[in-house]
Amino acid sequence: MFFDTRRVHVVGVVMVSIFAAAAPVNAELLASTPTSTRAETLATSSIIVDGHIDVPHRVFDQWVDVTESTDGGDFDYPRAKLGGLNAPFMSIYVPAALDGTAESTARAHTLIDHVEAIVGRAPEKFAIARSPAEVEAHFKQGKVSLPLGMENGAPINGDLNNLEIFYQRGIRYITLTHSKSNAISDSSYDDNRQWDGLSPFGEELVVAMNQRGVMVDISHVSDTAFYDTLRISTAPVIASHSSLRKFTPGFERNMDDAMLLALAKNGGIIMINFGSTFVDADARKWSDIRKDEIEAMERKHGAASDVVQHFIDTYRDRNPFPYATSADVVAHIDYAVKLIGVDHVGLGSDYDGVGDSLPTGLKDVATYPVLIQGLIDKGYSDQDIRKILGLNLLRVWREVEKVAAES
C-alpha cells in the first residue's frame, strides 16, 4: 500500500477496504502461543503504554461498546485486561482527504467525543489520561488510561489557537502528517514533496508544541521532515507507530539506522508497529505488488469499475497474505535496542488500524504476554522489559512536560 495497510486505500475516487476486520482472540489462539508465569506476571504488573490504537476511528465508522466484549476489532476492555494493557494512546485519526477543511478540525473533535463517551459509559474501567502522573494514578486504581494522540496534524488548520484547544481536550501528541503532504509536513507516502521537509508553519508548530507540552510524533513524515523536526525541537520526539527499514528496505514509512541513532541522541523513542507489512519484507512486497496491480486495473477499466472491485475482493484468495509472526516484531525491538539502547524503544501496535494484517501470535490486545515471552526468550531482564512496555514513553512524556514548564 502507498500508505498504512489500515482502513482504506484511496485510488482516484474509489475507497477500498484493504483488510477484513480482525476476529476476537480465542482460547485456541492463546493456547497455540504459550507464555510463562513470568511473562503473565510482567504483563499484569507493568504499565503497558501502546503508542497507537485506532479505536476512535473504529467506533466512528460503526459504534460498538468497547467497554464490554466485542465480536470484532482488536481492542475491548476484557481483552485489554487479559493482555495487561493499561495505557493505550487513542488515535484521533483524521484522513488526508479532509486536509485543509473545517471538517478536518470537526472530525478530530468528534473522535475525542467518542473517547469521552467510552469513558462516560464505564468510568470505573476507563479514564482519559493527560499526564504520566495520571497514567500512574489510574494504574494504581486498576483503570485503563486512555491518553489521546492526534494522527495527522491537519485539524490544526494553520491556527495555533487550535493547538491550545486540542491540548485542553487532552491531546498529548500530534503526528505531523499522514498519507499526503499537508500544510505542516511532507509525508513519507507522498511523492509530492512540496516543502522539502517541514513547512514554515510546521516549524512554528513544532516550537509551539514544545512550549505547550505536546509530544511531536514523526511517524508518517518524510526523512527530510524528520531531520527538520530534530533540528527544531528542544524536547524529545516520538515515533508512535513505526518499525525498522532494516527489515523492509525502501519503505520510507519505517526508520533507517541513521534516523534511529539521531532519535536516540534527541532522547526520543521509537514505538514498534506490529503490522505485518511494517515488520516483514515478504508482507511488504505483497502489499506493494497488490497496489501496483490495482492501479493497473483501474487504468484499464476505470476506478469505479465492477471488474476492479471484483479484482480487489478476490485478490487475497488468489494470493494468500504472508503474515509475519510475533518473533518478527520481537526482532525489530531487539535490533533497535542493540543499535540505540533499551531506553529508546517502545510499543506502537496500530491495533484497530492495520486490519487483518497483524502477525500470528499478536492478533489483538490480549496478546502482549506473547511479546513479553519473546523478550524473555531473548534474555531481557524484567526491568528492561518494563522500560519497553511503557516506562520509556512515560520518561519522554515527562521530559516534554519539563521543557514546556521551562519555556
Superfamily of domain 8-280+323-406: Metal-dependent hydrolases (3.20.20.140)
Residue 154 amino acid letter: A
Per-residue pLDDT of the chain (407 residues; tens, 9 = 90+): 233 333 333 322 222 233 333 444 444 455 456 899 999 999 999 999 999 999 999 999 999 999 999 999 999 999 999 999 999 999 999 999 999 999 999 999 999 999 999 999 999 999 999 999 999 999 999 999 999 999 999 999 999 999 999 999 999 999 999 999 999 999 999 999 999 999 999 999 999 999 999 999 999 999 999 999 999 999 999 999 999 999 999 999 999 999 999 999 999 999 999 999 999 999 999 999 999 999 999 999 999 999 999 999 999 999 999 999 999 999 999 999 999 999 999 999 999 999 999 999 999 999 999 999 999 999 999 999 999 999 999 999 999 999 999 99
User: For cell 485519526, what's the residue?
Assistant: 93
Rounded-to-integer distance, Cα 91 and Cα 82, Å = 21
